[in-house]
Chain A
């Protein structure tokens, strides 16, 4: 079979770009292209957009470039470190019994900070439950994330103030919400005006597992046929709890986009510069009325799915060790140190700031008040129902009866 017989072309970035210095997966797991009819295998290493190697060296790419100065990279470094510190503190708080559960974002910081910092203030985010770094970029207090995982509420930030929707736990459901919101932007004349402070788009986050969900595929169709301003930002962290991405797809996920009628691109998800550049390009396209883009941030979930999970049951330690060499933070630090943009004082300052943040989260988490039992009756409806009024009254009287008994 010849290349021309491929059912799916390699995508809009079909340039012979520099190969990543470290292929993202063991090539031996990929069958030779000639043995696969049409589509490429799921871990095909070609077309990975990378602008910063794991060794901290800048790379050029024909389609995507990172144009900001090193001041911004310093900011990214700070974001990355603080995000990881939020994550590790939350993990510790879970182990101490202060959180019911925690979903680590370890290893995915670059995908989240790169995409999160590429957005304009008026853009709107629909996250999964693991977008702690994006939440940070949108100004959501990390303590509000802890509240959710502690079980005091379902997310106490204001989505309309942060332009960051509540975490969504049903896999993929938020991609439709994102698409609907984008349809609203279109109707509000907030797309394609040329005004950079008016034109807006939506970023829908989801994972490799979610690409199997009906809702996600429906969102692709909707956004495509209505040409809605959505960036579908998929963090392919290789694992849907215990299921590898091979169980979700026979082709690289970004190539799915072509079948839906919009471009897909695979970016090194551990490269904050590339994630920034690719997301910015996708957002620009959306802002201008060009419609949706699929971004596959190729990364790795270095922690467990959640604190209830035990990855040693389903994956090899070697795999994890190889991804540690591609750590998203280490390469930025190496770059900044080598370029002279940062000195030891800077790195120490960020560490100090991270420790202060951790301390604030530690004490703040323990002080989060439990909700009153009666609050569960409130806000179920805008207009309260007679049934809930009655149930609330009856339950309040019941609770009071104990207080009287103890008086």
Chain B
């Protein structure tokens, strides 16, 4: 057992993945000598060399586009996009090239590429450093999308993502990079499957769903609710495409009330899809409409007001109250 930060979990997981498979290479801006602006790749170039940890030119489409060619040559690129708001120059390569290659080649060209993206707000950053682009990618056939929420998941999930033969958009909650957790990396410990959600707090009165940075927020909300005698069940979705809604449906049938929480804008966000699916599967068990707590349909605001934009404990509890009022 050791205490690690989320950054360290990713770093250690990446190191393990690179040791396990010489075809794994890390590429991106500043990932080499600097170790990444968040130090996720710290020390990897020193230990694995410049051929496997590549400081790329400053062009995101180039990072993903060359990763496609490397994957065709049998490599397993792990690409870092430095910030969420910088992924859009690579959008064609991700959506039209990476996502479709396996399908259009009828399975002849798998794309075992991981696209790591620090996402979400809450760190007081300037524009384009606090966005939540997950719905764009979850909406794209051929991609898989996951979001880790804690250091232990980060450690395991990055290794599972690298081992996946499908392309994975790997979302890292940048405001939780420095959170700590206890990692049991002994041989006997086994992680949950990558594409599985998990109940992280049991409760019977309402179900709260979150992923990435909002999981901690929702757990804090559940603690606060418990002080008022309200028991919330909190589920960490972990995988956004494919969704693993089995535990969600089970919980919804138990509580009859579901609240989905994310930082991304509310309209056509993950919450919309989840609300539709929960309604389809659990219609007669629901006591209230599925509630959404999300960012607003505005551009991400200047950082001095980002705490107003971002869902917080009070907004989660407000939605829980509205669900319980039905």
A-side residues, CB < 8 A to B, are 126, 153-156, 158-160, 165-166, 170, 173, 175-188, 202, 214-215, 218-219, 221-222, 225, 378-383, 385-387
Contacts and interface: CB of A to CB of B under 8 A. Distances in A.
A381 B104 contact: no
Contacts of B148: none
Given A177-B72, A218-B61, 18 more contacts: A160-B109, A170-B92, A173-B65, A177-B69, A179-B69, A180-B65, A180-B66, A182-B69, A187-B51, A188-B73, A219-B66, A221-B59, A379-B103, A379-B106, A380-B141, A382-B107, A385-B144, A387-B242
Contact of A215 (B25, B56, B61): B61
A222 B66 contact: yes
A292 to B, nearest CB: 13
Contacts of A170: 92, 96-97
A145 to B, nearest CB: 15
B106 A153 contact: yes
Interface residues of B, number: 45
B113 to A, nearest CB: 10
Contacts of A185: 73
Nearest to B62: A218
A183 B66 contact: yes
Interface string B90-132: 0011001100011111111110000000000000000000000
B237 interface: no
B164 A383 contact: yes
Nearest to A224: B57
A381 B144 contact: yes
B70 interface: yes
B69 A166 contact: no
Q: Which 3 A-B pairs have the closest CB atoms?
A: A180-B69, A176-B65, A184-B73
Contacts of A180: 65-73
Contacts of A154: 103-105
B57 A184 contact: no
Interface of chain A, main secondary structure: helix
Given A215-B61, A221-B59, A181 B73 contact: yes
A176 B66 CA distance: 5
6 contacts: A218-B61, A222-B59, A379-B107, A382-B110, A385-B144, A387-B242
A381 B100 CA distance: 9
Interface string B129-163: 00000000000011010000000000000000000
B75 interface: yes
Nearest to B97: A173
A185 B66 CA distance: 12
A230 to B, nearest CB: 10
Given A159-B105, A379-B106, A380-B102, A179 B74 contact: no
A185 B92 CA distance: 25
Contacts of B17: none
A367 to B, nearest CB: 19
A160 B195 CA distance: 30
A186 to B, nearest CB: 8
B242 A385 contact: yes
A187 B109 contact: no
B69 A386 contact: no
